[in-house]
Structure 1
Amino acid sequence: MSGLRIAVTGASGRMGRMLIEAVLGADDCELTAALDREGSPALGQDAGAFLGQATGVAISSDVKAGLSRADVLIDFTRPEGTMAHLALCAELGVRAVVGTTGFSEEQKSRIAELAQRSAVMMAPNMSIGVNVVLKLLQQAAQALSQGYDIEIVEAHHRHKVDAPSGTALKMGEVVADALGRDLKTCAVYGREGVTGERDPSTIGFATVRGGDIIGDHTVLFAGIGERIEISHKASSRATFAQGSLRAARFLGSRTTGLFDMNDVLGIA
């Protein structure tokens, strides 16, 4: 089989396995590398073993060798690892789809620099539905700019290490931009004790962590006598995997540049 040659990082993790399954099921894609951290017990195993399939691709920690056989890297790991992977992508001319969250502003600036050498598509959430919701939030915030308090509630599984989620922060950025505000100065990330009345110019965040919740996000516009809730609930990581493949196909015809899911979906 031949097609878009894809390398997947975090191959033995929950998201990595979902990505591998999606690539193996796509007629126009080929899994050419499955990468994991040094010391992982999965090293040396066939990448499709968890599916009962023999792919001929062994899970490896040699990122440079794996990328040398790929057109596109799909990376859902941790910021430090992703930064190292992107540096190699820029060196080798490999495009990258990045679903990692929790980057610092300095790291984001570095990613923009690396994207000048090899194309990068980066989004806090690869779900097509979430990215449609972001567009709806922009419209809702503009229409509900007066008299409505805005709160963002997100819930994820117990293993997630950053909070609020990258998706929740992106939702906050979209809403703040639509209102002409700066999220850095109007966000409230926690409330405890006697906090006084709510400042109507703020955007509140609440975080839930527990069990195996894939990802739930709700933006609440609370007015007097009514409230509007715009929600997205993921029931499977398959939605992120399919969105990632769509992004990988989009990058197939790009050589440089930093893109997001709006570019992939053609949402102005």
Structure 2
Amino acid sequence: MARIGIIGSAGRMGQAIARVVDASEHDLAGGIDQGDDPAALAVKSDVLVDFSAPSALAANLSAARSAGIAIAIGTTGLEAEHHALIDEAANAIPILQTGNTSLGVTLLAHLVREAASRLGDDWDIEIVETHHRMKVDAPSGTALLLGQAAADGRAIDLAQNSERGRDGITGKRATGAIGFAALRGGTVAGDHTVHFLGQNERLALSHLAEDRTIFARGAVKAAEWLIGRPAGRYTMPQVLGL
């Protein structure tokens, strides 16, 4: 049994995680939101689950380090400076950071990496994601996670080989590029499809999220898996043993 603290508890994901914790063998240590002190929550918890905002990351990592506990980070929209903070904190505590806590998406990323490694760059890769109208970042963290999986499969740098926001006369598609397209509307929890488009044939790998509970279950599984691990930076595939 673990005491799980939720950062961003008033948000959609925070509420879903709280419901999953309440229905599990674990205890809800509490939750905080913007303006609250993460250190006060950390001292009551065995592990923190963070679905807040990039601007809160530094304080949340500091609180986890001071309390000597693990933290699972599902916040999206992170930039290079945020990942540098995570890398530094991972020298002291166990941290899992991911753009998607769904177990299905974790397996999808594994399949995307495998497909990309076996299909040459004459197969174009396009990632299409759809989310609810309230989502503020694009491409989604999951789309970027899948793009990174494809880039890893091809042993290329994603930042140098991605195409986003096509508009106007863009010229022909760059060979080997990974394209992203984002759709926003309605109440879609999250749909992602990775298209591999070759000469006279296409392959599509998809994941459709019907309810945020799938992400909450994965977040709780990741949190419980982290407890007792050595300091370091971990990923969802490790949780599944991939």
TM-score by length of 1: 0.87
Cα distance in 2 between the residues matched to 1:91 and 1:194: 52
Q: Secondary structure at the match of 2:134?
A: coil
Structure 1: which 5+ residue stretches go unaligned?
A: 39-60
CA–CA separation in structure 1 for the residues paired with 2:169 and 2:31: 51
Q: How much has 1:204 moved relative to structure 2? A: 0.8
* Bigger Rg over Cα: 1
Q: Secondary structure at the match of 1:184?
A: coil
Q: Which of the numbers 8, 11, 25 marks the counterpart of 2:9?
A: 11
Q: Which residue does the alignment assign to 1:236?
A: 211
> Using the alignment, how far apart are the partners of 1:146 and 1:101 within structure 2?
29
2:228 paired residue number? 253
Do residues 196 (structure 1) and 171 (structure 2) align?
A: yes
Gap regions ≥5 residues in structure 2: none
Q: Show the counterpart of 2:28.
A: 31
Q: Which position in structure 2 is the counterpart of 1:128? A: 103
Identity over aligned residues, as a percent?
41
Residues 158 and 211 in structure 1, CA contact (< 8 A), matched pair in contact too: yes
3-state DSSP of counterpart to 2:160: helix
Task: Determine which of 92, 97, 107 is the counterpart of 2:82.
Answer: 107
Which residue of 169, 174, 178 maps to 2:153?
178
Which amino acid in 1 is paired with 2:31? A
Matches for 1:216-231 after TM superposition, within 5 Å: 216-231=191-206
Paired residue type of 1:166: G
**By how many angstroms is 1:15 displaced?**
0.7
Measured after TM superposition, the shift of residue 69 of structure 1 is: 0.6
For the structure 1 residues 255 and 146, does the alpha-carbon distance in structure 2 shift closer, same or farther, using more than 3 Å as the test?
closer
Aligned partner of 2:95: which letter?
V
1:162 maps to 137
Q: Is the 8 A contact 1:90 1:115 kept in 2?
A: no
Q: CA deviation at 1:255?
A: 4.2
Q: 1:113 Cα deviation (Å)?
A: 0.8
In the TM superposition, residue 83 of structure 1 has moved relative to its aligned partner by 2.3
SS of the residue 1:185 aligns to: coil
1:71 corresponds to: 46
Q: Please say if 1:116 is aligned against 2:91.
A: yes
Which of the pair has the greater relative contact order for Cα pairs under 8 Å at 6+ separation? Answer: 2
How big is the alpha-carbon RMSD for the aligned residues of Structure 1 and Structure 2?
Answer: 1.2
The residue number in structure 2 matching 1:44 is: none
The Cα of 1:63 is off from its aligned counterpart by 2.4
Structure 2: distance between partners of 1:176 and 1:65: 40
Which amino acid in the other structure matches residue 72 of structure 1? Answer: V
Q: Does 1:98 align with 2:95?
A: no
Structure 2 residue 60 is matched with structure 1 residue 85: yes
1:140 aligns with 2:115: yes
